[in-house]
Structure 1
Amino acid sequence: MSSEIFSFVIYMIHACANRWRKTPARVYFALKQSGCLNYYLIPNYDILHTQSTDFVVKDIEEYLAQKEVIV
């Protein structure tokens, strides 16, 4: 994984943690367990990093809802 993708993933974990008022560790665990990291954020980095933080957080919320993951 490139440093740009790594930085993006860390940024999005913290953005979600701030929005949901959860710890970054809890958000990371939920994203990893749901497959969001490996099957959504990382493979779609080229598109997602051009979107607003709010848009990507909402997309992550929808992804987790479809997977029935509660953070």
Structure 2
Amino acid sequence: MVQESFEFVVYMIHACANKWNRLPSFVYRKLAESGCIQKFLVPNYEILQSLTSDVIIGDIEDYLKERNVTF
């Protein structure tokens, strides 16, 4: 993972944690276990980084729902 995408992933973990009222460590665990980081955020970094945080969080929520990830 290159520096820019790493910083983006960290930012999105914290953005999701704030929106969902969860600890960043909890959000990281859920995103990592579901493959969201390696299969969605990192590969689509170039596209996602141009969107607003709210839109990306919505996309992450959709990704998690499709994989039946609950929290």
TM-score, normalised by the number of residues in structure 2: 0.97
Identify the residue that residue 20 of structure 1 maps to in structure 2.
Answer: 20
- Unpaired segments ≥5 residues, structure 2: none
Q: Map 1:3-42 onto structure 2 (within 5 A).
A: 3-42=3-42
Q: Distance in 2 between matches of 1:33 and 1:2?
A: 20
TM-superposed deviation, 1:47:
0.2
Q: Distance in 2 between matches of 1:6 and 1:40?
A: 13
Identity of aligned residues (%): 48
Letter in 1 for 2:67: K
Q: Distance in 1 between matches of 2:14 and 2:27?
A: 8
TM-superposed deviation, 1:63:
0.4
Q: Distance in 1 between matches of 2:51 and 2:39?
A: 18
- Unpaired segments ≥5 residues, structure 1: none
Runs (4 or more) in structure 1 with deviation over 2 Å come to: none
Q: Distance in 2 between matches of 1:68 and 1:23?
A: 20
> For this pair of structures, how many residues does the alignment match?
71
